[in-house]
């Protein structure tokens, strides 16, 4: 939930760490800090606010040194203020730490350390951890790596940490449990990088080692990286991965915001999701991870989908897809509920975990639980090599490319794309979809990216609607069938980036409560595509109009009925009902984006949020 960057090598550390922190700000932006070491000195700068605030402070001071650690924080223990910002320094003034995660037993550890004479300047669990390391180092008279290992054995919780001793400026110790950490290895071990993901060091090295849970790495200048298991001290051969990421993918490329760039990337992102899988000319969907486990999918009693946030909404679309096209019963669960309610899972259940980041703590815990209970667990992740991708029995990457904007956009549509491919394939193999219907779907899917391209051109119309409603306090989003999860997603997008209160409902549920909210100042976005329950949705629109609500309708090209009644109409291209979510989502993303921009909100970094939620 926080971002960590570190550098040790022959270059000036500060510019690398600061730029890296800016790339990791999607992980949290409550406060930022950097510590640098030059000739055994520590220069520590930290502040409440963003990395840009930190730069203003640090750049008037001494920022020399070839060793540095930096941190951008999403607050858990302690409010976002200067004192609670990382890095933290031990009582002796020698050891420094940056930490992402939560130490759950911090209270008892703190009491014990106070008894031993330690004092604390912040309210953080992290300051306790660095002093615990110091205490182990002192009492065992051991090296830093050993002291970190001993301290980590006595903590309960989650962590990715980087630690160094200012008196030994050729070494950084890194460890992880539950929070991601990557180590970039420079040529001939002349330099090393540490980061929560690889984006801070892609211009320097393509060689990265991703630590596994309960591993500790000793980074020493000029030496090969050494990795040990925290539990038993055994050595692990570091697995060096070649990074596929490039710089263009993590820059704005001329767009004002990452979110807008990512909305516009959707046609290509979906093509990348299709690549090598959707072979419409050959009448095939080829997915190695599904094909290799096809009996598990075909014999599934039911599919349980676990996810959070937008990924959970994609899971709801999955429910409609699997039940409708493949006739397999589906349950969609919030990972955070699923993991704690002792769910009934059978051997013949297939559990699908969906996560853009692949690091969401609740989804990861749900995956582990489902595996323990004997289910076959399949992951749909975007981030290659992420924890969920590695923990699941098998899975498919969405290949959407890095999603930096905190509000998820292309992750959602590419997750739905994967779910559609699997559902169509299973539907055909189970005999629920005739060959001709199956072929028709495959050819129609090929056209989806160009239909999204068309939709992205209606920008100016959406801007106009945004300017009319940008100052309202509430919004309702309604949809039925496949478009119900899209209504939920539209409402989530609006509330998270514009701070306007918004609710999504199945259109028919409106009568059971939300209708009381409708008056002339309530805008209602209604998704009224021409298939499914069109007539019923038209009746719902009439009910809203009768109460003077304002209708923003998403309709199919050629619609005449809704056009007559709605205040504003956004047209989308024709498609089969099950493919509509891939299209109806686009105008809702744009509407939220423009409303948020017009309200002066920080679209890419909305308040209180972080991109990957690696704490419960
Ligand atoms: O990385 P994940 O897909 O597991 O993340 C799940 C949610 O935290 C995420 O979708 C969140 O709801 C986004 N802010 C939505 O835009």
Say if residue 87 is preceded by a cis peptide, omega within 30 of 0: yes
Q: How far is the CA of 545 from the centre of ligand 1 (A)?
A: 34
What confidence score (pLDDT) does residue 48 get?
93
311 pocket-lining for ligand 1 (C-beta < 6 Å): yes
Closest alpha carbon to 71 in 141, 155, 162: 162
Please state, in angstroms and rounded to a whole number, the distance separating the CA atoms of residues 328 and 323: 5
What confidence score (pLDDT) does residue 405 get?
92
Q: Is 259 helix (H, G, I), strand (E, B) or coil?
A: helix
Residues 287-317 pLDDT 10s: 999 999 999 999 999 999 999 999 999 999 9
613 pocket-lining for ligand 1 (C-beta < 6 Å): yes
Closest alpha carbon to 363 in 383, 389, 402, 400: 389
**What is the average pLDDT across 278-293?**
95
Which residue reads 């794309």 in tokens?
417
Please state, in angstroms and rounded to a whole number, the distance separating the CA atoms of residues 429 and 433: 8
What confidence score (pLDDT) does residue 611 get?
77
22 pocket-lining for ligand 1 (C-beta < 6 Å): no
* Residue percentage of the chain with pLDDT more than 70: 100
Residue 525: how many CB atoms within 10 A of its CB? 28
309 pocket-lining for ligand 1 (C-beta < 6 Å): yes
589 pocket-lining for ligand 1 (C-beta < 6 Å): no
Domain ranges of the chain: 3-248, 252-446, 457-603
DSSP result, 1-64: --EEEEEESSS-HHHHHHHHHHHTGGG--SEEEEEEEETTEEEEEEEES-HHHHHHHHTTS---
Residues 201-227 pLDDT 10s: 999 999 999 999 999 999 999 999 999
Q: Which one is predicted more confidently, 16 or 605? A: 16
Closest atom of ligand 1 to 407 CA is 16
Please state, in angstroms and rounded to a whole number, the distance separating the CA atoms of residues 195 and 595: 34
Residue 492 parent element (H or E): helix 483-498
What confidence score (pLDDT) does residue 511 get?
83
Asked if 454 and 314 count as a contact pair (C-beta separation under 8 A), the reply is no
Please state, in angstroms and rounded to a whole number, the distance separating the CA atoms of residues 279 and 263: 25
Residues 37-94 pLDDT 10s: 998 899 999 999 999 999 999 999 999 999 999 999 888 777 888 888 999 999 999 9
Please state, in angstroms and rounded to a whole number, the distance separating the CA atoms of residues 93 and 77: 22
If one residue of 257, 310, 333, 362 were mutated to test the ligand 1 pocket, choosing by the most ligand atoms within 8 A of its CB, it would be: 310
Q: How far is the CA of 190 from the centre of ligand 1 (A)?
A: 37
Residues 115-155 pLDDT 10s: 999 999 999 999 999 999 999 999 999 999 999 999 999 99
**From atom 12 of ligand 1, which residue's Cα is the shortest distance away?**
309
Fold (topology level) of 457-603: Rossmann fold (3.40.50)
Give the residue numbers marked as catalytic. Answer: 2, 611
How sure is the predictor about 607, in pLDDT bands with cuts at 50, 70 and 90? Answer: confident
What confidence score (pLDDT) does residue 481 get?
94
614 pocket-lining for ligand 1 (C-beta < 6 Å): no
Is the pLDDT at 377 greater than 90, yes or no? yes
What confidence score (pLDDT) does residue 60 get?
95
What confidence score (pLDDT) does residue 386 get?
87
Q: Is 381 helix (H, G, I), strand (E, B) or coil?
A: strand
What confidence score (pLDDT) does residue 77 get?
73
Cα distances (Å, whole numbers) of residue 560 to 243, 530, 544, 557, 585:
51, 10, 18, 9, 21
* Residue percentage of the chain with pLDDT more than 90: 82
Residues in contact with 297: Cβ distance below 8 Å, sequence separation at least 6, in sequence order: 290, 350, 422, 426
What confidence score (pLDDT) does residue 360 get?
93
How sure is the predictor about 462, in pLDDT bands with cuts at 50, 70 and 90? Answer: very high
Residues 576-585 pLDDT 10s: 999 999 999 9
Asked if 315 and 352 count as a contact pair (C-beta separation under 8 A), the reply is yes
Q: How far is the CA of 491 from the centre of ligand 1 (A)?
A: 14
Is the pLDDT at 284 greater than 80, yes or no? yes
Do the domains at 252-446 and 457-603 have one common CATH topology?
Answer: yes
295-299, 342-346, 442-446: least confident range: 342-346
Q: How far is the CA of 158 from the centre of ligand 1 (A)?
A: 19
400 pocket-lining for ligand 1 (C-beta < 6 Å): no
Q: How far is the CA of 227 from the centre of ligand 1 (A)?
A: 31
Residue 223: how many CB atoms within 10 A of its CB? 12
Across 37-72, b (16+ Cβ under 10 Å) vs e yields: bbeeebbbbbbbbbbeebbebbeeeebebbbbbbbb
In the numeric block, which tokens belong to residue 426? Answer: 């299973």
Asked if 47 and 85 count as a contact pair (C-beta separation under 8 A), the reply is yes
Residues 148-179 pLDDT 10s: 999 999 999 889 999 999 999 999 999 999 88
Please state, in angstroms and rounded to a whole number, the distance separating the CA atoms of residues 489 and 477: 9
Q: Where are the beta strands (DSSP E) in 39-177?
A: 41-48, 67-73, 88-89, 95-103, 157-165, 171-177
What confidence score (pLDDT) does residue 155 get?
95
- CATH class of the domain at 3-248: alpha beta
Residues 491-514 pLDDT 10s: 999 999 999 999 999 988 888 988
In the numeric block, which tokens belong to residue 602? Answer: 């920080």
Q: How far is the CA of 217 from the centre of ligand 1 (A)?
A: 29
605 pocket-lining for ligand 1 (C-beta < 6 Å): no
Which residue reads 């060689």 in tokens?
207
Asked if 396 and 425 count as a contact pair (C-beta separation under 8 A), the reply is no
Residues in contact with 14: Cβ distance below 8 Å, sequence separation at least 6, in sequence order: 34, 36, 58, 63, 64, 65, 68
What confidence score (pLDDT) does residue 252 get?
83
How sure is the predictor about 534, in pLDDT bands with cuts at 50, 70 and 90? Answer: confident
For β-strands 171-177 and 157-165, DSSP reports them as: antiparallel
Is the pLDDT at 453 greater than 90, yes or no? yes
What confidence score (pLDDT) does residue 382 get?
93
What confidence score (pLDDT) does residue 514 get?
85
Mean pLDDT of all residues belonging to the chain: 94
- Count how many residues are written for the chain: 616
List phi, psi (to 5°) of 433. -115, 125
CATH architecture of 252-446: 3-Layer(aba) Sandwich (3.40)
Cα distances (Å, whole numbers) of residue 294 to 48, 229, 297, 298, 378:
51, 35, 5, 6, 12
Cα distances (Å, whole numbers) of residue 170 to 18, 67, 68:
20, 8, 11
In the numeric block, which tokens belong to residue 486? Answer: 């899209």
In the numeric block, which tokens belong to residue 268? Answer: 């290509």
User: Any bridge partners for residue 554, and if so which?
Assistant: 527, 570
For 308: left if phi > 0, alpha if psi spans -120 to 50, otherwise beta; the answer is beta
Please state, in angstroms and rounded to a whole number, the distance separating the CA atoms of residues 434 and 417: 20
If one residue of 29, 258, 311 were mutated to test the ligand 1 pocket, choosing by the most ligand atoms within 8 A of its CB, it would be: 311
Please state, in angstroms and rounded to a whole number, the distance separating the CA atoms of residues 489 and 158: 30
DSSP result, 414-453: HHHHHHHHHHHHHHHHTTSS-HHHHHHHHHHHHHHHHHHH
């Amino acid at each position: 939930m926080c971002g960590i960057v570190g550098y040790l090598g022959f270059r000036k550390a500060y510019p690398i760490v600061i730029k890296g922190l800016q790339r990791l700000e999607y992980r949290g932006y409550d406060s930022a800090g950097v510590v640098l070491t030059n000739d055994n000195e520590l220069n520590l700068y930290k502040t409440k606010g963003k990395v840009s605030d930190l730069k203003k402070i640090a750049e008037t001071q001494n920022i020399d040194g070839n060793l540095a650690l930096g941190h951008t924080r999403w607050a858990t223990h302690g409010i976002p203020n200067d004192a609670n910002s990382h890095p933290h320094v031990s009582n002796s003034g020698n050891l420094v730490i940056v930490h992402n995660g939560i130490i759950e037993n911090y209270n008892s550890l703190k009491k014990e350390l106070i008894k031993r004479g330690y004092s604390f300047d912040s309210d953080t669990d992290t300051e306790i951890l660095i002093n615990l390391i110091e205490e182990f180092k002192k009492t065992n008279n051991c090296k830093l790596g050993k002291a970190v290992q001993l301290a980590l054995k006595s903590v309960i919780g989650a962590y990715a940490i980087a630690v160094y001793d200012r008196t030994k400026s050729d070494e950084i110790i890194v460890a992880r449990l539950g929070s991601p950490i990557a180590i970039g290895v420079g040529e001939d071990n002349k330099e090393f990088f540490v980061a929560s993901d690889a984006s801070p060091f892609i211009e320097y090295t393509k060689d990265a080692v991703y630590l596994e849970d309960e591993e500790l790495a000793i980074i020493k200048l000029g030496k090969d990286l050494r990795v040990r298991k925290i539990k038993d001290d055994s050595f692990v051969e570091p697995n060096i991965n070649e990074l596929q990421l490039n710089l263009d993918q993590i820059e704005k490329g001329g767009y004002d915001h990452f979110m807008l760039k990512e909305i516009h990337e959707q046609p290509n992102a979906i093509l990348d999701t299709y690549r090598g899988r959707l072979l419409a000319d050959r009448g095939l969907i080829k997915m190695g991870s599904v094909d290799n486990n096809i009996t598990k999918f075909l014999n599934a009693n039911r599919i349980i989908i676990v996810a959070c946030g937008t990924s959970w909404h994609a899971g709801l679309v999955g429910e409609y897809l699997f039940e409708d096209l493949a006739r397999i019963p589906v349950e969609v669960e919030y990972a955070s509920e699923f993991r704690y309610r002792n769910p009934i899972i059978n051997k013949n259940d297939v559990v699908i975990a969906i996560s853009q980041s692949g690091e969401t703590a609740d989804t990861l815990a749900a995956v582990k639980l489902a595996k323990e209970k004997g289910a076959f667990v399949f992951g749909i992740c975007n981030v290659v090599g992420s924890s969920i991708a590695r923990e699941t029995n098998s899975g498919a990457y969405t290949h959407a490319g890095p999603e930096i904007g905190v509000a998820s956009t292309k992750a959602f549509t590419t997750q739905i794309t994967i779910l559609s491919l699997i559902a169509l394939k299973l539907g055909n193999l189970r005999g629920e979809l005739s060959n001709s219907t199956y072929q028709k779907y495959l050819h129609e899917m090929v056209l989806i990216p160009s239909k999204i391209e068309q939709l992205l051109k209606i920008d100016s119309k959406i801007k106009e609607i945004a300017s009319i409603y940008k100052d309202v306090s509430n919004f309702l989003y309604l949809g039925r069938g496949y478009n119900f999860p899209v209504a939920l997603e539209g409402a989530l997008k609006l509330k998270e980036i514009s701070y306007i209160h918004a609710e999504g409902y199945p259109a028919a549920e409106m009568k059971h409560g939300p209708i009381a909210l409708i008056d002339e100042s309530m805008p209602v976005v209604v998704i009224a595509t021409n298939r499914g329950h069109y007539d019923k949705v038209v009746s719902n629109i009439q009910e809203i109009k009768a109460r003077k609500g304002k209708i923003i309708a998403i309709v199919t090209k050629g619609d005449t009925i809704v056009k007559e009644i709605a205040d504003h109409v956004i047209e989308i291209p024709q498609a089969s009902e099950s493919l509509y979510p891939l299209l109806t989502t686009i105008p809702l993303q744009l509407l939220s984006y423009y409303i948020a921009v017009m309200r002066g909100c920080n679209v890419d970094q909305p308040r209180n949020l972080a991109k990957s939620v690696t704490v419960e």
